[in-house]
């Protein structure tokens, strides 16, 4: 699997240090609030499990699965809810946890859904941010790392469902895409 990586952008240690820093900020900002952590599956599953251990507050965790990339490296433009939340969000302070914001389509769709369900507040934390690919004007409230305009894998992020289990984040060798990009 590691042979398919052209370049490592962020090491496991750099990622863990950033997660701890984000956890400290979120702990300070959400003290006394009714925090609901919303993990956007599948990509955010590793980030959320590291992040919640660094948030020193009572909180709830729920999961939503959405998908728009399929096996491609560009968004299909259509965001599909594959699994919805288990509980109502009315009156909750929701923190959406994303692995990456790229075009912004997934997030703008989710924020819209949650606001229509009368959440008290909706904010976003993303580990990776690819701002130059944005087609929807949207900013995360908490950001880990800015990344260049390249398709990245690892730390939850996949290409055609593979590479999510890499503990670091990197760029694949072009030949791995075999004509899909
Ligand atoms: O800003 P966007 O262009 O919408 O891209 C970001 C979204 O795309 C990826 O999910 P994907 O649809 O690949 O599903 P997955 O998390 O199951 O891999 C990623 O995990 C984000 O949720
Ligand atoms: O760069 C990326 N890598 C993996 N999944 C993604 N979904 C949006 N952008 C990316
Ligand atoms: Mg994906």
Q: Which of 85, 107, 90 is nearest to 38 (CA)?
A: 85
Predicted confidence at residue 104, as pLDDT, reads 94
Better pLDDT: 69 or 66: 66
For residue 21, give the H/E element and its range. Answer: helix 12-29
Q: Is the pLDDT of residue 107 over 60?
A: yes
Predicted confidence at residue 72, as pLDDT, reads 82
Instruction: Give 4's contacts (C-beta < 8 A, 6+ positions apart).
Output: 163, 172, 173, 176
Ligand 1 site residues (CB inside 6 A) read 40, 42-43, 67-69, 75, 98-107, 158
Grade residue 181 by pLDDT with cuts at 50, 70 and 90: very low
Q: Which of 39, 43, 70 has most ligand 1 atoms within 8 Å of CB, for mutation?
A: 43
Q: How far is the CA of 128 from the centre of ligand 2 (A)?
A: 9
Give me the active site residues, please. Answer: 102
Grade residue 180 by pLDDT with cuts at 50, 70 and 90: low
Reply yes or no on domain 12-150 having CATH 3.40.50.720. no
Query: Which numbered ligand comes closest to the C-alpha of 75?
Result: 1
Q: What is the mean pLDDT of the chain?
A: 93
Grade residue 48 by pLDDT with cuts at 50, 70 and 90: very high
Predicted confidence at residue 179, as pLDDT, reads 57
pLDDT per residue as tens digits for the range 6-34:
999 999 999 999 999 999 999 999 999 99
pTM over 0.80: yes
Q: Quick one: tokens of 106?
A: 């997934």
Burial level of 59, CB count in 10 A (0-12/13-18/19+)?
middle
ipTM of the complex in this document: 0.97
Give dist(CA 147, CA 141) in Å, integer: 16
**Where along the chain do its domains lie?**
12-150
């Amino acid at each position: 699997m590691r042979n398919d990586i052209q370049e490592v952008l962020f090491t496991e240690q750099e990622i863990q240090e950033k997660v701890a820093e984000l956890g400290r900020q979120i702990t300070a900002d959400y003290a006394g609030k009714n925090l609901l952590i919303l993990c956007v599956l599948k990509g955010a599953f590793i980030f959320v499990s590291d992040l919640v251990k660094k948030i020193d507050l009572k909180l709830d965790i729920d999961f939503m699965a959405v998908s728009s990339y399929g096996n491609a490296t560009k968004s299909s433009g259509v965001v599909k809810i594959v699994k919805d939340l288990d509980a109502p969000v009315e009156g909750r302070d929701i923190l959406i946890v994303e692995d990456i914001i790229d075009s912004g389509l997934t997030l703008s769709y989710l924020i819209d859904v949650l606001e229509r369900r009368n959440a008290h507040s909706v904010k976003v934390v993303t580990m990776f941010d690819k701002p130059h690919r944005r087609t929807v004007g949207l900013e995360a409230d908490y950001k880990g790392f800015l990344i260049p305009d390249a398709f990245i894998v690892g730390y939850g992020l996949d290409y055609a469902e593979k590479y999510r289990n890499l503990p670091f984040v990197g760029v694949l060798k072009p030949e791995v895409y075999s004509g899909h990009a």
